[in-house]
Structure 1
């Protein structure tokens, strides 16, 4: 049974395929509460905006904060924010990682398209 995912604001079909959906219990650094994560999307349905901000976090006097880099996913039709792109998907190589300790931040990782459930209208197609 397939699902149709559309924008809650304008009703435009986002052309997301359930085949590319990560399992709900799959672990990611950025979490997955209240979201759906996909391995790939139809890029013609979305606008992507880079976001690079430093959040204040004062541990010491000289510490600037935590840097967050991510990409916003907006509906191409109405411009509503529907999710974010994170680079914490599966590793792109079969490398055992630095010092053979498994995949690390050094190894390039696949993008993960994380959509907010409250920004999507999900209908079942039988």
Structure 2
């Protein structure tokens, strides 16, 4: 039984595949209630806008930053904000990185597409 993920505002099928969904206990989703993270999405269903915020954020217990760069994900049909793209997914390489600095500073990371569950309409398909 597969799930169909649609925009709550306009009802457009967002073509999100449950096989690309990260488990809820994965290291970056463990404490985030009300969100779903995917490894990849169909780019034709969304508009992407860069965002650059200057405010403190925590990546791990030992690493924090001031400037967070992320990308807004908006529904291509209605323009509603449905989530964000973060570059803190699983490492693309097995290397600990140059000089063993913090995780996002030297280790190339895969993009993570995080959607707010309140902006999605989730239906089961048989």
TM-score (normalizing by structure 2)? 0.84
Unaligned runs of 5+ in 2: 57-64
CA distance in 2, matches of 1:24, 1:88: 15
Please show how residues 75-90 of structure 1 align to structure 2 within 5 Å: 75-90=75-90
Q: Is the 8 A contact 2:96 2:107 kept in 1?
A: no
Larger radius of gyration: 1
The 1:66–1:31 alpha-carbon spacing in structure 2 relative to 1, beyond 3 Å, is farther
Aligned length: 118
Unaligned runs of 5+ in 1: 57-64
2:72 is matched with: 72
SS of equivalent to 2:19: helix
CA RMSD of aligned residues (A): 2.5
SS of equivalent to 2:26: coil
Please show how residues 17-56 of structure 1 align to structure 2 within 5 Å: 17-28=17-28, 32-55=32-55
